[in-house]
Chains A and B, each alone.
Chain A
C-alpha cells in the first residue's frame, strides 16, 4: 500500500520558471491538501480539495494553482517561481474532515 506519493523529491528552479508538483494517493480519500513548510515554522495550507472537480484556497494560495480531475491525483502548479516559494511542500489526504491526514514524503523546492 503506497499511501501518498509525491514527485519530485527535490527540484531547483530559476526565478520565473514554472513546474508541477505531483501528488497521488491510493486510499480512495476524498479530501486532499497541499501544505508548505518553511524552516522553523509549522505547515501552512495552500489549497485543498473535497473531491474530484472541487478545489478551494487555503491560507497561502498566491502564486499557486491546483486541479483535481480524479480522486487519486492532486497536482500543484507554480506558474512564475519566486524565491519566496522556496520551501518543502507536503501533500496529504483524509477520508473526512477532522480525521487523520496522511502525508506524503514531501518535495523540497529551491528557487534561485
Chain B
C-alpha cells in the first residue's frame, strides 16, 4: 500500500536558518505530492504541490522537488521566520489500483518551532 515517511521531529531553528524537512514515499502508481501546513489551532492548508516527476512546487519561500528516482519530496526554505512555526505534513494522492477518490496518505507531521 501507499505510505509517507517524514523525518523525526520536532525541529527547532533560529530565525533566518535554513530548513529541510525530509519526506519519502511509497506508492503503486504515479502520485501527486503535497505539503500541507497546520498553524496552531487551525485546519490544514496547502503549502505547495507537484503532480509529476521533476516538478518543483513553491510557495511563500518554501520549495520541494518531486524526485521519482529517490521517491522523495523534501521541503526546503532558505531563511525561516518565527511565523513559519507550525506542523508540516507531507502527503500523497494516488489514483492507482482503482482508488479514484483521491485519498490523501499523510506522513506523521513535523513540528517546526522558530525562535527569534
Contact = CB atoms under 8 A, between A and B. Distances in A.
A42 B109 contact: yes
A56 B101 contact: yes
A31 B106 contact: no
Interface in B71-108: 89, 91, 93-95, 100-108
A103 B108 contact: no
A48 B51 CA distance: 22
Identify the interface centre among A45, A48, A96, A97: most chain B CB within 10 Å of its CB. A97
Interface residues of B, number: 27
Given A42-B89, A42-B109, A99 B102 contact: yes
Contacts of A31: 101-102
B51 A98 contact: yes
Given A42-B89, A90-B44, A106-B43, A101 B101 contact: no
Given A42-B107, A42-B109, A97 B44 contact: no
A105 B43 contact: yes
Interface of B: 4, 31-32, 34, 36, 42-46, 49, 51, 89, 91, 93-95, 100-109
